[in-house]
Amino acid sequence: MAVITGAASGIGLAAARRFAGMGLKVCLADVEEERLQAAAMALAGDAPEGAASVRAVPTDVSRLEDVRKLKDAALEAFGEIAVLMNNAAIGDGGRPWERYDRWRRLIEVNLWGVINGIQVFTQTMIDQGSPCAIINTGSKQGITTPPGDAAYNVTKAGVKVLTEQLAHELRNIAGCRVTAHLLVPGFTFTGLTARSEEKPAAAWMPDEVVDFLLQRLADGDFYVICPDNAVTRDVDNRRMQWAIDDIIKNRPALSRWHPDYKDAFEAFMRSPRP
């Protein structure tokens, strides 16, 4: 069984379709109940076993009790959990000194939602003794932390660190067969990023992200850094390297966007690959 939060649309729904197509039963969770039920009905029409293999559980991941109810409902319906995908997230946060209430809500959903999922499901998955995976959806904004939405960046940076710690702890438990993975999508046309009904040429579709995820999971990768139609892995690598070099070289914070470093950054991006 696969349990997926934020499953009413976007990457979560695309993942549900892929897992169902692989023969897994799926438990969909989302706070938007009407869209969740519609997604479950559509998925049931495509799943090999139909509605019997799909459950929809309205869930606010920021509420620990909701996540506990999600686990209970999933286990009651289908038993053993093969995949937990902590995918639910919201955007539109704010600068460091703005929109206090929005800051709190983003942290509650994007970070505490993942914490709650890990707290509630992990020990049960360990105790199963079977191969299974916890996939947490992060963001490139949690790695290179561009200016513009500090609240969102903070939450996704937290998801990155949390998932790294989870992977370390799991691999140091004797006999543990649970692995952890950090999914880092590129520009993806989803409800979180869409600004129009027409997909931008640079964006991937959610199905492409999930296909890439499954390929990387098969290879055993922890970091699943997705490209898109405009940004290659080499570009991502250079941006991440520049970001960490801000610390190593004692440059100003976010020097990539600092006018004094504009030319140096552009030269770095053009330089021959080491």
- H or E element at residue 57: strand 54-58
Q: What is the DSSP string of 166-234?
A: HHHHHHTSTT--EEEEEEE--SB-STTT-SSSSPPTTPBPHHHHHHHHHHHHHTT-SEEE---SS--HH
| Cα angle, residue 232 at apex, residues 226 and 233 outer, rounded to 5° | 60
Label the pairing between strands 2-5 and 223-225: unpaired
Alpha-carbon dihedral 79, 73, 24, 162, rounded to 10 degrees:
-100
Task: Give catalytic status of residue 223 as yes or no.
Answer: no
Q: Which of 100, 152, 223, 261 is catalytic?
A: 152
* Residues with a known catalytic role: 152
